[in-house]
Amino acid sequence: MKTRRDFIKISAAGAGAATLGLSSLSWKGVSSLYASNDRGPVSEEEMTAHSTYCEVCFWKCAGWTYVDKKGNIRKIIGNENDPHCNGRLCPRGTGGVGMYNDEDRLKTPLIRETVNGKQQFRKASWDEALDLVASKMAEVKERHGPEAFALFNHGAPGSHFKHLFHAYGSGNEGEPAWAQCRGPREVGFGATFGSWVGSPEPTDIRDTRCLVLIGSHIGENMHNGQVQEMSTAIDRGATIITVDPRLSTAASKSNYWLPIKPSTDIALLLSWIHVLIYENLYDKEYIGKYAMGFEQLKEHVKDMTPEWAYGITTLDPDLIRKTAREMAAASPSVIVHPGRHVVWYGDDSQRERAIAILNALLGSWGRRGGFYFKEAVKVPKFPQPEYPHHKWDWKDNLDGKYPLSAMGITTELLKASIPEFNYKHQIKSWIVAGTNLPLTIPDKELFKMAAQSVDFIAVVDTMPMDITAYADVVLPECTYLERYDYIRSAPHREPSIALRAPALKPKYETKPAWWIAKQLGERLGLGEYYNYDDIEEVLEWQLNKLGSSLEEMKKLGVKKFPRKSGGLYLQDGEDYEFNTSTGKIELYSLEFEDLGFDPMPKFTRHPQPEEGFYRLIYGRAPMHTFSRTSNNPNLWDLMDSNSVWVNPKVADLWDIRNGQKVWLQNQDGVVSTFPVKVRVTERIRWDSVYMVHGFGHTNKKLTRTYGHGASDSELITNVMIDPLMGGTGMRGNFVTFIKEKPIEEVES
């Protein structure tokens, strides 16, 4: 956290005033990272503004990139007409400048070669690198079929490579967004309301009277629109209830904080459902009209009283009752938030079901201050031939496991890459575009084994992320500030589109992902799928169909369209058919029952840490996105490392001081590669420790962030898989402290 002062010693109780972190008063890179030739600000009139939407996270806020006369990107400002950001970018969007300026960026294509028995990268021309990747793709297609080439992807670059893979004939693609993030909530809400939550979440926070967060740390996860609306809700006096073993920032803003024992959330949710039903507080008209399965639910939760939940969650039964009544008093203007990263304990789809059921009882789906009906602009597809039919994909390897997985499961693609797993269909090679797998996927050994097993890996990225160390070919992508991408069309209250246009030509020898994918496609004889010279032609064609143009969008940045799907909310007494098999909100899930799963959520006890071990909880910091921003000079300056949060009682027991560096060792004996600073704080329970995800990079080419902090991902070796959808539950790992340096420095 950015602070002027050095660390101030925290009092023995761990409380008192503290400014966090250390200001990075390093001179490193100063000369290159600010425009020293002019000292002051430059007025906007002397700069040119270029439309963009942000790629630092998935919220994709639209903004303007300001370029001065010397060709420096000076700042990025939010687009006032954009429903995602309302003219206000978050620190990462504002700091997107650093992504362009980072001198550690990938600069040229690289090819792995062996010289005197030592492997190293050498610079290569684009032609050579593209020829090599295309030849590998052609070879795999001929020997094993195109399906044996897999794509791991995230964000805008992913969309261009998905097109390439579909044209090439492979449906084997996976992104961490499903099995490492939000899959369970889509399954849970889908089974209940017949609709995914989707992104951005259609939570009507600005108009809510009660917001309930279950481990969701809005404000630390800087999902811009939600942070803004939570602030509006605070202004309007909404009641906020936060359930979290840690006093998160959101918890500190809440009227009620429920410091729950980790892994017991379903017990709390069921007891809340019990109170709503047995105190007759639920929305009877709404349930009567729209829902099925109420009587079964009532019977199911009969004994799940707050007193029952107290023994499990450690939460005061009176507090459970009181908060249930608060929700009911605000109903239907209440949101029990689905959360976003929800792969925790392997029963996550069922926990999300409990959240969805709670929302149903409160009548909040399709109601003002609850969940609105979202709508997106349908962007017409540029003319192209049909994609070829692929013979198999990741789902055919599962033999009926994870029946509700709707997107590729990254970990399953990894297992299919390892011959020892004996999968029916094997993966032989990968392209990885825009996702840093070693710091994203739990069970690093599985990843390493898979990476060693495959014949060939090409990585497309802007930075020398940890994944590039495993690449045979590295293809350097330019940043979002230097390229066009597809039109942004995301669901919201008002449908809108946004344009990303380059502010400057690509720096170094970097290229946009659309160009890289097109070059590969043409080399593979797939030219008919690339019936254009420049992506501008595609965008112009699509925008014309929508009644706009590139010229107009360059001026507007964002264009809104009228809704076509009806109102934001259910009308009084409106007949409405939900997209479930019964057309009703399913409190009792027939879909789950048919597949052999519990039709109503049950509480299961999960293992607790043994003596001397603490549950590893991880989360986000508002200035960083996953592991991808930690080397960004502007954002690194705000926060240059994570720390491990330790309760003062635990710190006393271990004689660990605030600021002391320790190594963490997990239940399977895995020790963190790097030490991490201890933050002694009353904000965390004594049975848990907390870390911000995304630090502990092992690639020395990331000169700022290399070796700073510890990676939570490498300590997550116990993975609890959600049987419904393949999500990788990651909250069942326990760590202990090692105070002396345990091993030799690991070579990266």
Please give the residues from 19 up to 58 whose contact with other proteins meets the rule CB under 8 A.
19-20, 23-30, 33-36, 38-43
Smallest gap, in angstroms, from Cβ of residue 228 to other proteins? Answer: 5
Question: Does residue 637 bind other proteins (CB under 8 A)?
Answer: yes
Residues from 436 through 465 that contact other proteins (CB under 8 A): none
Task: Show the binding pattern over residues 91-110: x = contacts other proteins (CB under 8 A), - = does not.
Answer: x--xx-xx------------
Q: State whether the Cα torsion 483-120-432-731 is positive or negative.
A: negative
Residues from 66 through 85 that contact other proteins (CB under 8 A): 74-78
Residue 689 bridge partners (DSSP): 616
Question: Does residue 683 bind other proteins (CB under 8 A)?
Answer: yes
Tokens of 324: 């249930």
Residues 6 or more apart from 344 whose CB is under 8 A from it?
215, 263, 265, 351, 729, 730, 731
Residues 6 or more apart from 2 whose CB is under 8 A from it?
21, 23, 637, 638, 639
Nearer to other proteins, 8 or 329 (CB): 8
Residue count at the site for other proteins (CB under 8 A)?
78
Nearer to other proteins, 278 or 686 (CB): 686
CB atoms inside a 10 Å sphere around CB 534 = 12
Residue corresponding to tokens 């990303």: 500
Residues from 562 through 621 that contact other proteins (CB under 8 A): none
Nearer to other proteins, 186 or 637 (CB): 637
φ, ψ for residue 242, nearest 5 deg: -120, 130
Nearer to other proteins, 38 or 551 (CB): 38
CB atoms inside a 10 Å sphere around CB 575 = 8
Question: Does residue 623 bind other proteins (CB under 8 A)?
Answer: yes
Residues from 383 through 422 that contact other proteins (CB under 8 A): none
Smallest gap, in angstroms, from Cβ of residue 695 to other proteins? Answer: 16
Nearer to other proteins, 88 or 209 (CB): 88
The stretch among 470-478, 508-516, 681-689, 722-730 that binds other proteins (CB under 8 A) is 681-689
| Sole binder of other proteins in the list 3, 108, 305, 660 (CB under 8 A) | 3
Give DSSP secondary structure letters for 582-616. Answer: TSSEESS-HHHHHTTS-SS--------PPTT-EEE
Nearer to other proteins, 550 or 623 (CB): 623
Nearer to other proteins, 162 or 685 (CB): 685
| Sole binder of other proteins in the list 661, 682, 703, 739 (CB under 8 A) | 682
Residues 6 or more apart from 696 whose CB is under 8 A from it?
439, 642, 672, 673, 674, 676, 707, 708, 709, 710, 711, 712, 713, 714
CB atoms inside a 10 Å sphere around CB 610 = 9
Q: How far is CA 488 from CA 319, 408, 491, 593, in A?
A: 43, 22, 10, 38
Nearest to 605 by CA among 191, 265, 106: 265
CA distance 123 to 125: 7
Using the 8-state DSSP alphabet, how is residue 381 labeled? P
Residue positions counted in the chain: 748
| Sole binder of other proteins in the list 639, 662, 670, 691 (CB under 8 A) | 639
| Sole binder of other proteins in the list 440, 681, 699, 713 (CB under 8 A) | 681
DSSP 3-state of 334: strand
The stretch among 104-112, 323-331, 587-595, 634-642 that binds other proteins (CB under 8 A) is 634-642
Nearer to other proteins, 267 or 304 (CB): 267
Residues from 189 through 248 that contact other proteins (CB under 8 A): 219-220, 222, 224, 227-228, 230-232, 234-235, 247
Question: Does residue 253 bind other proteins (CB under 8 A)?
Answer: yes
**For the chain, what is the radius of gyration of the CA atoms?**
26
The stretch among 1-9, 129-137, 337-345, 586-594 that binds other proteins (CB under 8 A) is 1-9
CA distance 35 to 506: 19
Task: Show the binding pattern over residues 641-670: x = contacts other proteins (CB under 8 A), - = does not.
Answer: ------xx----------------------
| Sole binder of other proteins in the list 264, 410, 548, 634 (CB under 8 A) | 634
CA neighbours within 13 Å on the CB side: how many for 553?
A: 29
Residue corresponding to tokens 């608060």: 326
Smallest gap, in angstroms, from Cβ of residue 34 to other proteins? Answer: 4
Nearer to other proteins, 1 or 329 (CB): 1
The stretch among 3-11, 207-215, 420-428, 738-746 that binds other proteins (CB under 8 A) is 3-11
Nearer to other proteins, 74 or 523 (CB): 74
| Sole binder of other proteins in the list 196, 257, 282, 515 (CB under 8 A) | 257
Using the 8-state DSSP alphabet, how is residue 489 labeled? -
φ, ψ for residue 284, nearest 5 deg: -65, -40
Nearer to other proteins, 88 or 163 (CB): 88
Nearer to other proteins, 18 or 556 (CB): 18
